[in-house]
Structure 1
Amino acid sequence: MAIQKLYAGAKLREIRTRLALTQKDFAAKLGVSLPYLNQMENNNRPVSTTVILGLAQEFGLDVTELSTGDSERMVSDLREALADPVFADTVPPLADLRLAASNAPTLARAFIELHRAYRQTHERLASLDEALGREDTRLQPSPWDEVRDFFHYCDNYIDAVDRAAEHFAERAGPDIRAGTLRHLAARGVTVTFAVMDLLRSYDAETQTLRLSARAAPATQLFQMLLQTALLDQDKLLEATLDFARFQSDAARAIAKIGLANYFAGAAMMPYGTFLNAAQTCRHDLEVLATTFGASIEQVAHRLSTMQRPGAKGIPFFFVRVDQAGTITKRHSATRLQFARFGGACPLWNVHRAFETPGQFLRQLAETPDGVRYINLARDVSKPGGAWGAPVRRYAISLGCELRHAGALVYADDLDLTTAAAFEPIGISCRICERKTCHQRSVPPLERRLSIDNDQRDVLPYRVE
């Protein structure tokens, strides 16, 4: 396989600006000429080995910052936006999209936001009665989507919150549950457990935290840590929200809960300790869940956040879907990106997890760009805790590129060398280039179709 050249002009400029250096001074410290640095910053040339070594030796930077995945994420988001039928006759080639994402990331992101606003306008027009009945019909991004994109483009890693959680865990001691209870008691908070519909209820006036007695111990601990974040880390959370500049109060409120959730997960599974444990047990989710008193979903989600500069774990993707195939959580530190609209590819093993409750399903998969992955899927249904209480049914998938398979216990005994062992998967049917997929729901926009009235295969058309 050919080595892919690294074009990271925007990231290089960002690093130089962060260091408060002129192009001339930056070039001198990196040992390259000013014109050569200028060409690299404008993506006219790939980043050279000399520059990569200079960044590491001269500035002590984690050079993986140059390929954090933002460009690939934007290319994927651009492709999906341009897969909208409104662009059917004007879809630019993939090379142009990569150029736009690398050379003009701000413009690319603005286009993605514009398309999202367009989609929301369509959705509002589709339900005109509801739209006319609202007092405020200004065009704004969905608060939920806005928050999801914030975490998406932060690599799902928030350094300040992660380190604050790690410091809290160190102070709490080896028994994080007992330590959290002591901490809350020391600040005057009374924790009680009661049979109730809510998972968590906090009364600020009486400083009483009530937790559901029916919830699993991992859920109870998570909710205690979440409340701890809201009580102890309010200034940190608010400062992070100020930096994000959300467009609505609703988005800011959702993001605050998201950051508190992040703190809770990071405190249950402190970065350094968790990373060492994951590497030691070769990322065995059940071992990690037992070690840290967490659920399988909490462990899988935490693994997808291990992107601390200078101490990165394996780049995982993580996704959670409901029974309808709708993605309810998504994050990828890999080149594989998820559809922003609609469900996940039906060929992913995550959809089959509902058929085998309590079991892990393994899958070797290959995307249309030729990248191979190892995927793990399992159902994570959540009982209501009582007869007649509703059960929430989800399935999760955790995966990484095949080159990391040796670090996963789940890759043992799998045939990683035979091409036929890898199932063809995609992202979204509209942007998937596969010609022979038997599960295709709509034709790809970038391909011509051939229709023969006298022949019928699985699909009523043939992709050329």
Structure 2
Amino acid sequence: MAPQKLYAGVKLREIRSRLGLTQKDFAGKLGVSLPYLNQMENNNRPVSTSVVLALASEFGFDVTELSTGDSERLVSDMREALADPVFTDAPPPLADLRLAASNAPALARAFLHLHRAYRQTHERLASLDEALGREDARVQPSPWEEVRDFFHYCDNYIDAVDRTAERFAERFPGTAGAETALVEHGVTIRMITGPVLRSYDSETRVLSLSDRSPPETRRFQMLLQLALLTQNKLLEATLDLARFQTNEARAIAKIGLANYFAGAALMPYGPFLKAAQDCRHDLEILATRFGASIEQVAHRLSTMQRPGAKGIPFFFVRVDQAGTITKRHSATRLQFARFGGACPLWNVHRAFETPGHFLRQLAETPDGVKYLCLARDVSKPGGAFGAPVRRYAICLGCEVRHAGDLVYADSLDVTNAAAFEPIGISCRICERTDCHQRSVPPLERRLSIEPFQRGVLPYRVEK
């Protein structure tokens, strides 16, 4: 099979803009003519091997970024949006969606924003009795979804915040570093009894932490408070670049960035990446080494996408008992459904049945990509008799080609095609015709209804 040609015009323009070069100067440094560069930037020609090598040697560019980025996310998101019943006509071919994502990403995002606004309008009308007469009953994006998409399209890696947290960890190392830094900044720490994890009084400079929380949670909350106290300029500058549409979204994103700082300071990039590679990504060893929880370690592994020093591309997801996705990120080709729950065939749903144990799964998505999935429950006790328990399960996974770098792949036969379970993303865009767990028909298939015959489903999906 001939190698696939690489069209990366948008990424080339981004690199040139980042370097502050004209097309003429950029072409000269890459060793190509100005017309040739213009054709590559407009996706009329594929990126040549010589240009890829020049990007690496001349600018130290991580060439893997040329074939990654937003395109796969945009294609997945557009497919899901087009699966909405409001689009009655046949959806555009997958090839057209890929062209739109690579050649006109701004237009693709505008379409997604429009569809999101439509959904929110539809939901508001469905509960008109609640919104009727309210002055603020206008259509605006959900702040939570806006922030979620911000991190989604940043690859869940914020370079400036990550590097600042790494420098902080060098100055205040170890599990006592956060407490030492707070004391140095004149903050008094006291323990309180109750469900509130963290409370800070800016006048008395007293930080109160719940004595019901485990040590790793208390350390994380201390680091989060440090981010808010000492990194405000950095957080605000990052928020300015994001251009959120509402004050609520900006406020939520600021907490998200402070959380990011806390995780990156608890598990600084360089030492954490080396430790992960040395122990073959054993989550329990990493949790003990860095004084973190299993969920914190799994989440951190999904952010290891620093240019020039990337870790394994992982996906990370957290679901509740209803199957609702409460956290999601993917540095892999697998993209999660933006609306609704996850595929019921995924092992993350079975994690609730085996608390305290890791579940391994070899899985294959409809596009033929094979993954190694690791699931575990991460339920969070309330810390007292009668206190509510928050029940979640997480799943961390990567493409099976990285299986040798994970201790969890040991004893699994990754060469056996029959060992891989079929999973999907969303029933409406899943192309499998024989899934016994299907909840709704696939959008792009015709149905055959047999009134005198019934299988697992009340219809048959035509191939």
**TM-score, length basis structure 1:** 0.98
Secondary structure of 1:415's aligned partner: coil
* CA distance in 1: counterparts of 2:162 and 2:366, whole angstroms: 35
Equivalent pair of 1:226/1:261 in contact (CA under 8 Å) = yes
Q: Which residue of 2 aligns with 1:139?
A: 139
Equivalent pair of 1:334/1:400 in contact (CA under 8 Å) = yes
Aligned length in residues: 462
Q: Which residue of 1 aligns with 2:426?
A: 428
* CA distance in 1: counterparts of 2:327 and 2:398, whole angstroms: 17
Q: Which residue of 1 aligns with 2:120?
A: 120
Equivalent pair of 1:69/1:334 in contact (CA under 8 Å) = no
Secondary structure of 1:14's aligned partner: helix
Q: Which residue of 2 aligns with 1:71?
A: 71
Deviation of 1:25 after TM superposition, in Å, equals 2.4
* CA distance in 1: counterparts of 2:433 and 2:299, whole angstroms: 33
**TM-score, length basis structure 2:** 0.98
* CA distance in 2: counterparts of 1:163 and 1:322, whole angstroms: 32
Moved more, 15-24 or 190-199: 15-24
Moved more, 123-132 or 331-340: 123-132
**Is 1:389 the counterpart of 2:374 in the alignment?**
no
Q: 1:2 to 1:261 in 2, by over 3 A?
A: farther
* CA distance in 1: counterparts of 2:256 and 2:431, whole angstroms: 35
* CA distance in 1: counterparts of 2:11 and 2:115, whole angstroms: 25
Deviation of 1:225 after TM superposition, in Å, equals 0.3
Deviation of 1:418 after TM superposition, in Å, equals 1.1
Q: Which residue of 2 aligns with 1:50?
A: 50
* CA distance in 2: counterparts of 1:23 and 1:294, whole angstroms: 47
Q: Which of 279, 287, 311 lines up with 1:313 in the alignment?
A: 311
Per-residue CA distance 1:365-394 (angstroms, 9 max, x = gap): 111111110000000000000000000000
Cα RMSD between the aligned structures? 1.1
Deviation of 1:27 after TM superposition, in Å, equals 1.9
Moved more, 48-57 or 180-189: 180-189
Secondary structure of 1:43's aligned partner: coil
In structure 1, the gaps of 5 or more residues are none
Deviation of 1:461 after TM superposition, in Å, equals 1.1
Q: Which of 294, 297, 302 lines up with 2:295 in the alignment?
A: 297
Moved more, 78-87 or 56-65: 56-65
* CA distance in 2: counterparts of 1:264 and 1:67, whole angstroms: 30
Q: Which residue of 2 aligns with 1:248?
A: 246
Deviant stretches of 4+, over 6 Å = none
**Is 1:149 the counterpart of 2:149 in the alignment?**
yes
Equivalent pair of 1:366/1:422 in contact (CA under 8 Å) = yes
* CA distance in 2: counterparts of 1:2 and 1:344, whole angstroms: 35
Per-residue CA distance 1:317-367 (angstroms, 9 max, x = gap): 000000000000000000000000000011110000000000000000111
Q: What amino acid maps onto 2:48 in structure 1? A: S
**Is 1:217 the counterpart of 2:207 in the alignment?**
no
Equivalent pair of 2:235/2:254 in contact (CA under 8 Å) = yes
Q: Which residue of 1 aligns with 2:375?
A: 377
Per-residue CA distance 1:96-121 (angstroms, 9 max, x = gap): 00000000000000000000000000
Per-residue CA distance 1:266-301 (angstroms, 9 max, x = gap): 000000000000000000000000100100000000
**Is 1:229 the counterpart of 2:227 in the alignment?**
yes
Q: 1:279 to 1:2 in 2, by over 3 A?
A: farther
Q: Which residue of 2 aligns with 1:104?
A: 104
In structure 2, the gaps of 5 or more residues are none
For residues 24-35 of structure 1, the aligned pairs below 5 Å read 24-35=24-35
Q: Which residue of 1 aligns with 2:5?
A: 5
Equivalent pair of 2:319/2:325 in contact (CA under 8 Å) = yes
Q: Which residue of 1 aligns with 2:326?
A: 328
Q: Which residue of 2 aligns with 1:405?
A: 403
Q: What amino acid maps onto 1:191 in structure 2? A: I
Deviation of 1:45 after TM superposition, in Å, equals 2.5
Equivalent pair of 2:90/2:444 in contact (CA under 8 Å) = no
Secondary structure of 1:305's aligned partner: coil
* CA distance in 2: counterparts of 1:206 and 1:133, whole angstroms: 43
Deviation of 1:133 after TM superposition, in Å, equals 4.4
Moved more, 63-72 or 346-355: 63-72
Q: Which residue of 2 aligns with 1:356?
A: 354
Secondary structure of 1:191's aligned partner: strand
* CA distance in 2: counterparts of 1:461 and 1:421, whole angstroms: 28
For residues 333-348 of structure 1, the aligned pairs below 5 Å read 333-348=331-346
Secondary structure of 2:455's aligned partner: coil
